[in-house]
Structure 1
């Protein structure tokens, strides 16, 4: 598999070291990434991370703006200026920098959550609260979309009009 998937609750030691899930390390390796690109989430109290694929997607977003635009500079400052490159040691661990740990409120447990082309790192209680809200939003969206664009009763919206 070449997608980040699953939830892993891993202990953070006194030195800030945490094991990166083996399946996540495998995805990074397939992506040709030897390190983790990591930055504070722009809207949530968590970290976003990934490898070369994530960095390429950020570059694609930036390319939508003129080179000297304020919008491009703001986004580049956020994604690249606030990022950290996390090395993975021979035991599969990385060190979460103090600044990033404090931003996300991570203490002795880091929750790794796969999101396909990237993953997030959360404090456990913060993630549990977010997950509950996300589940409710996903249920509502699923009901709204229905199966294959159909309403939940099996009729299209146009057929009912």
Structure 2
């Protein structure tokens, strides 16, 4: 897989910068994106981030709506109007804006979590809770439904 995988926790330095994991920087470089595209997650108290792969996925999803509809406008605002393009310095560090930090409740450390075409940036304690819930829900999804069990028995 050539996308974002794994998770990493890094400290924010005294100048307010944090190092993007080297593996994630490699994906962004292969993707041809100069910097980092970020916006507040629609579903969680985290920041969604990525490069051209993320932008392509957003365009694909927005393409399902007519451009002059209310749905398209709301999604465009959430994905583009609330977004920020962050630059990385030569050492691969970014400065998350106060808007993004406040939204995600980030203060001293961040956890980067790969999700294939994008990654998320979390406050580590919130991520630990989310990870436990994700594991619980993933396990439930793997269990056969009563209908599937009944069909398998016939």
**TM bracket (short chain):** over 0.9
Tell me the residue number matched to 1:116.
Answer: 116
Tell me the number of residue pairs that the alignment of Structure 1 and Structure 2 aligns: 152
Deviation at 1:108, TM superposition (A): 0.6
Tell me the residue number matched to 2:83.
Answer: 83
Tell me the residue number matched to 2:38.
Answer: 38
Q: 1:107 & 1:144 partners in 2: Cα distance?
A: 41
1:158 corresponds, among 143, 147, 151, to 151
Structure 2 unaligned spans of 5+: none
Tell me the residue number matched to 1:73.
Answer: 73
Q: 1:82 & 1:36 partners in 2: Cα distance?
A: 14
Counterpart of 2:57 in 1: which secondary structure? helix
**Correspondence 1:92 to 2:85:** no
Deviation at 1:144, TM superposition (A): 2.6
Deviation at 1:14, TM superposition (A): 2.6
Deviation at 1:157, TM superposition (A): 4.1
Deviation at 1:84, TM superposition (A): 0.4
Greater Rg, structure 1 or structure 2? 1
Tell me the residue number matched to 2:52.
Answer: 52
TM-score by length of 1: 0.90
TM-score by length of 2: 0.94
Structure 1 unaligned spans of 5+: 146-150
Q: 1:4 & 1:157 partners in 2: Cα distance?
A: 38
Q: 1:20 & 1:27 partners in 2: Cα distance?
A: 11
Q: Which runs of 4+ in 1 moved over 4 A?
A: none
